[in-house]
Amino acid sequence: MILSPVETLIEIRDERQLKALTGLTEFQLELLAQELAQVELEQRQAKYERARLEGQRTRKPGGGRRGRLTTPKTQVLFVLYYGKIYPTYDELASRFGMSRSAAFDNLHKYFPLVQEALSRLGVLPSRTFANPEEFREAVAGVSEIIIDVTERRQVRPKDPVSQKDRYSGKKKMHTVKNTVIATLTTFILFIGQTFGGRHHDYKIFQADFSTNEAWFESKTVLVDLAYQGIDRDYEIRHLQIPVKKPRTSKNHPHPTLTAEQTKWNQELSRQRVRVEHAIGGLKRFNLLADRFRGRKPHFLDEALVMCAGFWNLNLLYV
């Protein structure tokens, strides 16, 4: 047993079980816990100093009743377990020996702290770019990028406008989409803003990257057929996109691709599948793979970013 029941609140027998329950190895868990301890210390001290200067507090921090999550490792484990298993708050509370309201409060207390720890480790993907210079800085050293979209299910929204916006006619369910940019090593560089499932993949991409800027003039870009027209709208050094099969017509009742075109599509598919592997790495976490139940504002968006950080952590810190 690598972690004691007292330390983790749940029994973990070996590293295989730890990875099944959290998605991380013991080394990665320790690394994240160390960073979280520093983040929490700095934020607690800053909060105390603000309150002291405003005359709202004179006693030093550290007093009061101790909660169940007493160490950075248990705090990280709590968030990881929720993301990997995606239990209900009742189940999460039962696992960690607290009330369902405490489980909710603790999750939304430590969730942003874990995100900040991931950011300091340099594994969180970028979200927006003010200009091409910021983009080039974020992808420095990367010559080839793969662009795709990830789609996730969610519960049917109560608001009629949101229902319409998030209903995917293709999936026949309510979903949300985000643009994903990954490297050939499956490292996730960028997660776009969240859009409803009714929006087309390329329209989402255009919302994240204005057509008026030279974003990709020095990059090789790999995309699928959903991004037809990207060569007209953007300046790209080298675009790799599949050859589309011609439409059926009176003169061509049985259109086919040539042998060379078929071979090109196959070779490109072998390269592009790596972004699918990256998206599959995200959806190892049931928080993304299952139908999303939460209704807290922005949590749907931030959950994807955090899981991308966990995936990148797995790649960088083996």
Same domain, 80 and 198: no
Same domain, 142 and 17: no
pLDDT value at position 64?
A: 66
Span 264-311, pLDDT tens digits = 999 999 999 999 999 999 999 999 999 999 888 789 999 999 999 999
Same domain, 168 and 25: no
How does the average pLDDT of the chain come out, rounded? 90
pLDDT value at position 245?
A: 87
pLDDT value at position 3?
A: 55
pLDDT value at position 296?
A: 81
Helix-helix angle 26-53:72-85, to 10 degrees? 120
Q: Name the amino acid, one letter, at 47.
A: K
Residue 103 lies in a domain: yes
Domain with 92 in it: 5-120
pLDDT value at position 104?
A: 94
- In this prediction, residues 206-231 reach a mean pLDDT of 93
Same domain, 147 and 281: yes
User: Any bridge partners for residue 195, and if so which?
Assistant: 177
Give one DSSP letter per residue of 154-193, joined into a string.
BPPPSSHHHHHHHEETTTTEEEEEEEEEE-TT--EEEE--
Same domain, 66 and 169: no
Domain with residue 307: its CATH number is: 3.30.420
Task: For tokens 């490297």, name the residue.
Answer: 183
Top-confidence residue, 119 or 13: 119
Same domain, 75 and 137: no
CA–CA gap between residue 27 and residue 14 (Å, rounded): 13
CA distances to 147, 153, 240, 302 from 193, rounded to whole Å, are: 14, 16, 24, 10
The yes-or-no verdict on residue 76 having pLDDT over 60 is: yes
Give one DSSP letter per residue of 258-295, joined into a string.
-HHHHHHHHHHHHHHHHHHHHHHHHTTSHHHHSPB---
- Give the chain's radius of gyration (CA, Å): 23
Q: How many domains does the chain have?
A: 2
Same domain, 12 and 142: no
Same domain, 38 and 175: no
Give one DSSP letter per residue of 86-120, joined into a string.
---HHHHHHHHTS-HHHHHHHHHHHHHHHHHHHHH
Total-model pTM: 0.89
CB atoms within 10 A of CB 241: 21
pLDDT value at position 1?
A: 47
Q: Name the amino acid, one letter, at 305.
A: V
The yes-or-no verdict on residue 241 having pLDDT over 50 is: yes
Contact 179, 304 (CB under 8 A): no
Domain boundary residue, one of 100, 120, 140: 120
Task: For tokens 């509370």, name the residue.
Answer: 93
Provide, rounded to the nearest whole percent, the portion of the chain with pLDDT above 90: 74
H-only helix segments in the chain: 5-8, 15-22, 26-53, 72-85, 89-96, 100-120, 132-138, 160-166, 201-208, 230-233, 259-282, 286-289, 299-316
Residue 90 lies in a domain: yes
Same domain, 140 and 84: no
Residue 127 lies in a domain: no
The yes-or-no verdict on residue 220 having pLDDT over 70 is: yes
- In this prediction, residues 116-132 reach a mean pLDDT of 95
- In this prediction, residues 185-195 reach a mean pLDDT of 96
pLDDT value at position 318?
A: 83
For CA atoms 224, 212, 300, 154, give the dihedral sign: negative
Helix-helix angle 72-85:15-22, to 10 degrees? 60
In this structure, the chain runs to a length of 318
Which structure tokens are listed for 155? Answer: 């519960």
Contact 149, 143 (CB under 8 A): no
Q: Which of 8-22, 45-59, 62-76, 189-203 has the highest mean pLDDT?
A: 189-203
6: confidence class by pLDDT, cuts 50, 70, 90: very low
Same domain, 106 and 178: no
Q: Name the amino acid, one letter, at 95.
A: R
Residues with Cβ within 8 Å of residue 160, at least 6 apart in sequence? none
Same domain, 56 and 164: no
Span 156-167, pLDDT tens digits = 999 899 999 999
The yes-or-no verdict on residue 59 having pLDDT over 90 is: no
Span 20-46, pLDDT tens digits = 999 999 999 999 999 999 999 888 888
57: confidence class by pLDDT, cuts 50, 70, 90: low
Q: Name the amino acid, one letter, at 210.
A: S
pLDDT value at position 184?
A: 95
The yes-or-no verdict on residue 2 having pLDDT over 60 is: no
Contact 24, 313 (CB under 8 A): yes
Contact 180, 188 (CB under 8 A): yes
User: Any bridge partners for residue 191, and if so which?
Assistant: 180
Same domain, 85 and 192: no
